[in-house]
Chain A
């Protein structure tokens, strides 16, 4: 005589998990059926592997089409319109399903998943309402999470909780089921309650019962339950005598009901099917807290984990751990504090009529006693313990896409372990390992797997240092599967991706950023393609502003090349071409600009100027300066701001000898005041410090102002004020002080020329310097 036990559980409920484990050990089934996708049957035995550490999740995804076609037709702009179909069934240590799997594997009993196959659930939805929420659709559970609209209407536990006088179903369930120490198995009572509820719901008028539900919900539920029954029947037919079924409490009555097989077959006939692949992926507690394939998020996975792990004295253990967390942060918390916190938590629980202090009471006690009323440490506990970020692990033999396997190998080689908590990593690019790490992270970023995020301050530390923030998120596994369309190794996939990005890029600046990323990621194979695209694009791009915007990134990349050992030959060619184009295109582009455009252009000119100085290529600099000279030669077509700035740039380069005349001309009566003001602003841009330290410039300005005729001075004064007023008060004072001393200290004295060096006097200092530098033999 066959015997079937149906255990109604709450997904991710530690109390359910413990009770279930006990019940299974007592019942000793010879087959265990679990609510979950049957496609996972072949890989369920992996759960018994010692390397499998929860939280983990079953991942169902549509396998990528063949690699070639995806790379060709794939993402154009990468604008998020992805046809992703994936669903997760997460398990934590304290998930009843996980405990059931572990029990069955330990006892050598077959485990089957009995839910509707993922193949039917990943089918593109007809009503696009749920297009993106495949994960939620996949195993939607009527549950006490209170999030989705459909749950509110069909929240059976909510009804029961209300009947028991609770306003929060989670707390009710916690009190009635999760916080039970031992005692008789709760499953019979749960089944009874659910049966009663389902009967009442069925008695409701048709329209009312499903009013707030999305259209397909009831049908989907029916199919799922039909499939569960069918799997059960099949298992019994195979000769299993004692079968345990683990499913969400809501489904218990449906599974116990006697439904003819033909009825279920009719329900399940002709379902659309999609191709589905299945694997295990590491999961995090944080994800468990947010959303999950079971629909029911857990707000406090760390707390549940603790409840499940701590076999006795959960409150005491929790508060002691909290005290330790606070002590680590140098907050003084003594054992006496913990004792009082436990007492307060228990008193509060009694006051609120709960059988055991729950998370609410413990948190209140932590706040009032351990944290002495302060909120900040409470937040710390919340983050470190209540959510308790942890990342699971899957064993080596888990099926994965080649790309993921390659990444694992790389991670092991470079000793970079994924972790769910933010971690700072400083990389010294002069060391080979760190350089490889940096390349790996850059490649992953190209593949849209932002495991590491580079810190912005990196550049100021010099080009050989990088700072990354590493956080592994479970969805990266999906991204990896998606990215596997690009190739089988991280390097290969990143190369293909970069080439595709380059081919589809529309703006020049996008292309240069791809080029820069290629260099950072050391994707030498992609560079020729990217560079060719870049050169082509630069050749046809008529907007010189685009060319100018592209330049700084390229020049920076060129400089990086030295540190990272990347070959930059092709890049050099592109930059060379770019400089010529900019110089040719600048004169027509720069004339006839209005105020805003001129200001924007000014930034571009400065950037290009800076980039060219950085490049230190005499030919390019010469060409650039000659272009500028040509421009200031016909000042009437230039905006005042730009004219002033160009004059200054050329003056700094020593290419103009009539600067005083030009200044005088600008402020003479023939020029409009607005233009004069802009000119001065452009000329003096670069901040007050320049004026303080560049004595030639200061003399120039000083001479010009003092030579102004009385009337003109009055006219110019507001314009000068406008520029000087923008400087800080102390800068203005410094300029004034410099001016006062200008007459006493002749210019020549302050800047000694190179000719009259007294070699004898310098020798001593030189020797010392050489010794410091370790170059003594040169002395």
Chain B
């Protein structure tokens, strides 16, 4: 665990050379947009918020500002979901984002935190091994032994830091955290306080503190939330993209951003190829071809939008470095097969069937069919 930052100083973390980091935080990547929004934001802001709820909604869903600045949409999907999410945070309730993998849960949580608190780094990554210290506090044992319990020997968790600062704490994969550790959140969320009995003190949350948790409802039952904890969250279920157009839009947008971030050689991400990948994913996911005529088996993987994005990105990299610089069927074929065939036996059968029954019969997909035959 790192040395705690000075409370109330969000600029304390090393943020200098954003250009060099692999993936800048949301608040750094979109610093310009956030600043513009704040400039034009004349609506009341809840205590501890950097922006008003209206501006946060605009930041997430995109829009145009009076001075002509265009805010890029971060989330493509139903507006009402984002409104519910923002309204939840504005009533200092905790927000639980549910959804199958790859429905932009983490993405939304990061951007929400960035827009509301200007800081998306107060993050607890939930794993089976997440301990209470990650949510409450730990000790610097050298100091503890030398000086006895004191404020200085205390190592704050991101949650505690968020409470002190009145910021948004993020908890990823809440359901992977063991139940007894999950339950330490109950007091934090209901009493908004974190007692430190060893020092006979407590940390009381400042206004603006809240928690955004994400959980996966596909592998349910890992560590189901207790109803006591569950009722302290407002739940927003993020759906898979509704239409092919939406999904193509999301994939294209993200691929552009990632490509720019990785400084890949310029390779035009052919919209046709993206559409094809999205179509394959959607058809296998829903177990039916797009025209609703043919029934298909579904593979074991989720085939989320996020996976489609990574297939396209790696395809782009292949095309740029080894191909002729244009994204072709052969570049995405390997990625697609890898994404679909998670279980080497059953999924391979599913993929084979799909290839022979659907792909082969589409004349304009001939190149794709050949490429897939080669790799699988």
**Interface residues of A, Cβ cutoff 8 Å to B:** 332, 334, 336-337, 340, 343-344, 347-348, 350-352, 360, 364-365, 367-369, 372-373
Contact = CB atoms under 8 A, between A and B. Distances in A.
6 contacts: A343-B91, A344-B88, A344-B91, A344-B93, A351-B87, A368-B84
B122 interface: no
Given A340-B91, A373-B237, A364 B84 contact: yes
B218 interface: no
B87 A347 contact: yes
Nearest to B80: A364
Contact of B83 (A340, A352, A367, A372): A352
B92 to A, nearest CB: 9
B93 A348 contact: no
B231 interface: yes
Given A332-B227, A351-B90, A344 B84 contact: yes
Nearest to A340: B93
Given A343-B93, A344-B91, A351 B54 contact: yes
Contacts of A365: 84
A322 to B, nearest CB: 15
Contact of B230 (A343, A344, A364, A372): A372
B335 interface: no
A21 B88 CA distance: 38
B205 interface: no
A756 to B, nearest CB: 62
Given A369-B234, A373-B235, A351 B91 contact: no
B120 interface: no
A351 B93 contact: no
B194 to A, nearest CB: 21
Interface residues of B, number: 22
A120 B80 CA distance: 47
Contacts of B237: 373
B87 A348 contact: yes
A368 B236 contact: yes
A372 B234 CA distance: 7
Q: Which of B98, B230, B235 has the most CB of A within 10 A?
A: B235
Contacts of B91: 340, 343-344, 347
Nearest to A373: B235
B53 interface: yes
Q: Which of B88, B233, B236 has the most CB of A within 10 A?
A: B88
B103 interface: no
Contacts of A340: 91, 93, 234
B175 interface: no
Contacts of A369: 234-235
Contacts of A337: 231
B86 interface: yes
Contacts of A367: 84, 235
CB-based closest 4 A-B pairs? A373-B235, A347-B87, A348-B87, A373-B237
B214 interface: no
A522 B93 CA distance: 65
Given A340-B91, A368-B84, A351 B234 contact: no
B57 interface: yes
B235 A348 contact: no
Nearest to A371: B235
Contacts of B53: 347, 350-351
A373 B236 contact: yes
A368 B230 CA distance: 11
B53 to A, nearest CB: 5
A368 B233 CA distance: 9
A345 to B, nearest CB: 8
A334 B231 CA distance: 9
A334 B90 CA distance: 22
B234 A344 contact: yes
Q: Which of B57, B84, B237 has the most CB of A within 10 A?
A: B84
Contacts of A350: 53, 87
Contacts of B86: 351
Contacts of B231: 334, 336-337, 372
Q: Which of A344, A348, A365, A368 has the most CB of B within 10 A?
A: A368
Contacts of B54: 351
A360 to B, nearest CB: 8
Contact of A348 (B83, B96, B233): B83
Given A348-B84, A348-B87, 4 more contacts: A337-B231, A344-B88, A364-B84, A367-B235
Nearest to B57: A351
Nearest to B92: A343
Interface in B44-75: 53-54, 57
B78 to A, nearest CB: 10
A344 to B, nearest CB: 6
A344 B84 CA distance: 8
Contacts of B84: 344, 348, 364-365, 367-368
Nearest to A337: B231
Given A336-B231, A373-B98, A368 B88 contact: yes
Q: Which of A351, A352, A369 has the most CB of B within 10 A?
A: A351
Contacts of A352: 83
Nearest to B99: A373
B56 to A, nearest CB: 9
Nearest to B235: A373
Nearest to B217: A373
B327 to A, nearest CB: 37
Q: Which of B83, B86, B87, B93 has the most CB of A within 10 A?
A: B87
Nearest to A349: B87
Contacts of B57: 351
A332 B226 CA distance: 12
Given A343-B93, A344-B93, A364-B80, A372 B87 contact: no
Nearest to B190: A336
Contact of A372 (B80, B88, B90, B235): B235
Interface in B4-57: 53-54, 57
A350 B44 CA distance: 11
A351 B86 CA distance: 8
Contacts of A347: 53, 87-88, 90-91
B349 to A, nearest CB: 24
A337 B54 CA distance: 25
A347 B237 CA distance: 19
Interface in B217-258: 227, 230-231, 233-237
Contacts of B236: 368, 373
Contacts of A373: 96, 98, 235-237
Contacts of A343: 91, 93
Nearest to B79: A352
Interface in B234-285: 234-237
A352 B79 CA distance: 11
Contacts of B90: 347, 351
Nearest to B237: A373
A347 B88 CA distance: 8
Contacts of B98: 373
A523 B90 CA distance: 69
A369 B231 CA distance: 7
Given A340-B93, A368-B235, A373-B236, A351 B83 contact: yes
A365 B236 CA distance: 10
A364 B85 CA distance: 10
A360 B78 CA distance: 14
Contacts of A364: 80, 83-84
Contacts of A344: 84, 87-88, 91, 93, 234
A340 B57 CA distance: 21
A368 B88 CA distance: 9
A344 B95 CA distance: 11
A356 to B, nearest CB: 15
B100 to A, nearest CB: 13
Nearest to B93: A340
Contacts of A348: 83-84, 87
Nearest to B54: A351
A123 to B, nearest CB: 46
Nearest to B97: A373
